[in-house]
């Protein structure tokens, strides 16, 4: 069975500070890993994805994530956040024919 756990439901952080949003997954098969962002009243937008190769993945808006197979984690990081980064962030795993999403982390950037 596959599952995705986002360890923090809410993360407040000051503007220009670094942030890490944590994601752990469990799967009995090889998976692809994703981070999506959702702004209020909008659909999901892909931030970045890990398929294979380098474990450090760079995405849009200055975000990056590191795949750690031994710890089954895929944490999202940004070295300096902006007010516009305030949104809901979802980690997801993809297996054949299905996506599994975490419950989301609400990132609030404080001026």
Partner 1 sequence: ETGVTQSPTHLIKTRGQQVTLRCSSQSGHNTVSWYQQALGQGPQFIFQYYREEENGRGNFPPRFSGLQFPNYSSELNVNALELDDSALYLCASSLDRSYEQYFGPGTRLTVT
d(CA 82, CA 108): 10
d(CA 42, CA 1): 29
**Smallest gap, in angstroms, from Cβ of residue 15 to partner 1?**
25
Q: List interacting residues with partner 1 (CB under 8 A).
A: 4, 32, 34, 36, 41-46, 49, 51, 90, 92, 94, 96-104
**Smallest gap, in angstroms, from Cβ of residue 17 to partner 1?**
25
Q: Please calculate the CA angle 68-76-89 and round it to the nearest 5 degrees.
A: 130
Residue number with CB closer to partner 1 (96 or 111): 96
Residue number with CB closer to partner 1 (40 or 111): 40
**Smallest gap, in angstroms, from Cβ of residue 101 to partner 1?**
4
Torsion of CA 16, 72, 50, 93, to 10 degrees: -100
Residue number with CB closer to partner 1 (70 or 97): 97
d(CA 21, CA 7): 8
């Amino acid at each position: 069975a596959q599952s995705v756990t986002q360890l923090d439901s809410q993360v407040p952080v000051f503007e220009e500070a670094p942030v890490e949003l944590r994601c752990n997954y469990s799967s009995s098969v090889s998976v692809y890993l994703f981070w999506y962002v959702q702004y209020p009243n909008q659909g999901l937008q892909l931030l970045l994805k890990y398929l294979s190769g380098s474990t450090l993945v760079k995405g849009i808006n200055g975000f990056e994530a590191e795949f750690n197979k031994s710890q089954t984690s895929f944490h999202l990081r940004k070295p300096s956040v902006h007010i516009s980064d305030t949104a809901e962030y979802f980690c997801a795993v993809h297996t054949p024919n299905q996506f599994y999403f975490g419950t989301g982390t609400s990132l609030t950037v404080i001026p």
